Amino acid sequence: MSGISSSMRGAVVTLAVVVGLALAYVVGTSSAQADEPDPAGPASSETITIRGSGSTSVVPDEVHFDLSVTTRAEGLDDALSRSSAELSTAVDALVDQGVAREDVRTTGAQMRPTYRRVKGQAPEPTGYSVTQSVRVEVALDDAGDAIAAATKDAGRALRVGGIRLAVSDETQATKEARDEAMADSRATAEQYAKASGRRLGRATKIVEPGADGYEGYQAQTLSSADASKAFALYAGEQDLAVQVEVVWELL
C-alpha cells in the first residue's frame, strides 16, 4: 500500500508541474501579444481638414447646340403638326450632313393655349402655341457646316441656341486634376502639422464636393437667318478643375 501511495504521489506531482508549465506558457504568450505594438500605429483622434484644388488644360473637340421650333395655330393639332414638320426638316438636314441620329435627342416639348388680352376684358382664346426642341452633339470640325445645314431650309420659327464647346472624354484630364488636388491638400496639411510640432498621418476621408469640370463656351441664341450664315468656332484651351476636401490624421 505504501508503495502504491508513493507512486501516486509522484504522478500527482508530475501532473502539477506539467499543468503549471502550460499555464505559464499561456499567460506569457497572452502577455506578449498584448504588449506587441499595432503595425498600423495607434489611431489618432486629432485630425485636420484641408481643401485642395487642381486643374489641367483640355482642348474641346465637340460642339453641343439646341434647335427649337415654336409655332402657333388656332387648333392644337395644326400647331403640333407645323412644329414637328419644321423640326423634322432641320433634323433631316443634319443627318444628310453626316450627323448620326443617335446624336440628336429630344429635350423638350411644350403646348399651351394663347390668348388675346384687352384691358378691361376677359382674355379671349386665340389658339395654341407649341415648342419642340432637340439637343445636337457634333464634332468641332463639323459644327459650322451642321448648323448651317440645319437652318438653311428652315422657317423663321427655328432657333439655334445653347452653343457650347465640350470635351468628349474628360477621364484622363480629370485624373490629372484629382492628383494635383490631392497633392495640394497634402502639402498644406504637412505645413500645418509641422508648424504645430506634429507629424501628418494618413487621409481618413476624401470628399469631392463636385468637380468643377469644363464649363465650356456658350453662345447666344441665333435665329435661323443668322445661323445659316457660315461661321467658325475656335476651341482654344480651357481648364478642367477639381476640388477635394481631405481629412488628415495628426500624429
* Domain containing residue 94: CATH number: 3.30.70.2970
191 and 83, same structural domain?
Answer: no
Helix axis angle, 76-96 to 140-152, nearest 10°: 140
Q: What is the DSSP string of 115-137?
A: EE--TTS--EEEEEEEEEEEEEE
Count structural domains, the chain. 3
200 and 225, same structural domain?
Answer: no
| Residue 117 included in any domain | yes
Mean pLDDT of the region 25-49: 54
Domain that holds residue 183: 47-57+171-213+243-250
* Predicted local confidence at residue 230, as pLDDT: 54
75 and 159, same structural domain?
Answer: yes
The answer to whether 65 and 147 are in contact (CB under 8 A) is: yes
| Residue 13 included in any domain | yes
C-alpha cell, 213: 469640370
pLDDT per residue as tens digits for the range 58-96: 999 999 999 999 999 999 999 999 999 999 999 999 999
| Residue 205 included in any domain | yes
C-alpha cell, 19: 499543468
130 and 66, same structural domain?
Answer: yes
226 and 106, same structural domain?
Answer: yes
The residue assigned the cell 503549471 is 20
Q: Which of 215, 166, 214, 167 is nearest to 64 (CA)?
A: 166
| Residue 42 included in any domain | no
198 and 91, same structural domain?
Answer: no
78 and 158, same structural domain?
Answer: yes
Rounded to whole angstroms, how far apart are CA atoms 129 and 82? 11
pLDDT per residue as tens digits for the range 85-142: 999 999 999 999 999 999 999 999 999 999 999 888 889 999 999 999 999 999 999 9
| Residue 41 included in any domain | no
